[in-house]
Amino acid sequence: MAEIAAAEKSGKVVIKNIGLLLSGDIDHPILDADTIVINDGLITAVGKFKDCDTTGAKTTIDARQTCVAPGLIDSHVHPVAGDWTPRQSQLNWIESSLNGGVTTMISAGEVHYPGRPKDIVGLKALAITAQRAFDAFRPAGVKVLAGAPVIEKGMVESDFKELAEAGVSLLGEIGLGSVKAGYEAKEMVAWARRHGIQSTIHTGGPSVPGSGYIDKDTVLEADADIIGHINGGHTSLPMKHVCDLCEQSTRGIEIVHNGNEKVAIGAARAAIELKCPHRVILGTDGPAGSGVQPLGILRMIALISSMADIPAELVFCFATGNTARMRNLNCGLIEAGRAADLVFMDRAQHTAGNNLLESVQLGDLPGVGMVMIDGLVRCGRSRNTPPAAEVPQLVAS
């Protein structure tokens, strides 16, 4: 069913009566607009209703003055096969995350694959298989960018060239395999970058048997594109070392749910103080030993906004536009030409906040009323979030 749905076209879609439009762009997080027009999965216009061509729509959605934002992007997941994870023997974890507003997931390595091959031929085969499988199959419509090999000693540049030519564009967390020294990682990161493959490095204490402790100096020497779970996964580096990474590196600062929450707040504050909030991205680092977190990205947004005192509209950008730009994705921003991956939200019923942004700033989760991927409605009122005060309405289809 997911394969068939992935090929379906949305036709023309009009979303009107938007109360709050979050752009995903950290430089301009709120748009002065109340209407989005979509054609065959791509946004074609954003503006005031009177200025948009809304005629001939196949589908019309009345947002009923709720908030529309780019679909959330989970920058750090560990998928295995379809919508199942052996880590917790759990089915439908991806579909459950869709109900938490997540429309795109990015693999940091298929490390939980039972009997995961660690020889070079096997790890390349697994990465290519995962890339192919998730490219063809979207659980519940969610876009899963998978096929992230965990690098091992003995790999040479031609291995990275072969992976790139096969369609692999990501490396799994450096440090989960036998490559743990900074000088080894640096060479392989450079090979990967030369062939268009983006890298992420494990940061902090070991997460599972076989992974290793990766300290500040190793992270800096390796110079991977993303400082993976800078707040630990699960065990963090000292806060002083985390601040040093934020200051001494120019790479992505990834904060995850399955890490140290106090350090997550400190890292977010450090990025603001260093005037580099555009470097911050969010992930869950699940499935993991602590389980699956369908609302993990929303929980991180509420945690960082409320405890780090960062405006909620900026923190939403951490989970949307920042990640999209860093990962070279055609989603995460509400602008013409981008994929129409959208989440409709409102303040939760009975929150103390007077509106959605205020409620998130107070630490409450928003209620999700609808999620759209490529202009197609994938779920209505979420079965996982608190009930939204108001939900959008499909008025014509």
End-to-end distance of the chain based on CA atoms, in angstroms?
A: 21
Q: Looking at this protein, which amino acid is placed at residue 371?
A: V
Q: Give rounded-to-5 percent helix, strand, coil for the chain.
A: 30, 25, 45
Q: What was the pLDDT predicted at 210?
A: 64
Closest CA to 374 of 20, 7, 29, 41: 41
Element (H, E) at 318: helix 312-318
Alpha-carbon torsion (240, 243, 244, 245), positive or negative: positive
Structure tokens at 219: 């992270």
Average predicted confidence (pLDDT) for the chain: 96
Q: What was the pLDDT predicted at 247?
A: 98
Instruction: Give backbone dihedrals phi and psi of 325, rounded to 5 degrees, phi first.
Output: -70, -40
Q: How confident is the model at residue 8 (pLDDT cuts 50, 70, 90)?
A: confident
Q: What is the pLDDT of residues 36-72, one digit of tens each?
A: 999 999 999 999 999 999 999 999 999 999 999 999 9
Q: How far is CA 121 from the centre of its chain?
A: 29
Structure tokens at 308: 């780090």
Q: At residue 2, does pLDDT exceed 90?
A: no
Q: At residue 244, does pLDDT exceed 70?
A: yes
30-31: strand order across its sheet: 30-31, 20-22, 67-70, 342-346, 367-373, 376-379
How large is the average pLDDT for residues 17-30?
98
Q: What is the pLDDT of residues 173-200, one digit of tens each?
A: 999 999 999 999 999 999 999 999 999 9
Instruction: Give backbone dihedrals phi and psi of 271, rounded to 5 degrees, phi first.
Output: -65, -40
Q: How confident is the model at residue 168 (pLDDT cuts 50, 70, 90)?
A: very high
**Using the 8-state DSSP alphabet, how is residue 313 labeled?**
H
Altogether, the residues listed in the chain come to a count of 397
Angle at 351 between CA 350 and CA 352, to 5 degrees: 115
Structure tokens at 269: 């504050």
Q: What is the pLDDT of residues 263-279, one digit of tens each?
A: 999 999 999 999 999 99
Q: Is 105 in contact with 79 (CB distance < 8 Å)?
A: yes
Separation between Cα atoms, residue 205 and residue 223, nearest integer Å: 18
Q: Is 219 in contact with 213 (CB distance < 8 Å)?
A: no
Q: CA 42 → CA 13, 139, 336, distances in Å?
A: 10, 20, 7
Q: Whose structure tokens read 């499935």?
A: 287
Q: What was the pLDDT predicted at 4?
A: 45
Q: What was the pLDDT predicted at 207?
A: 77
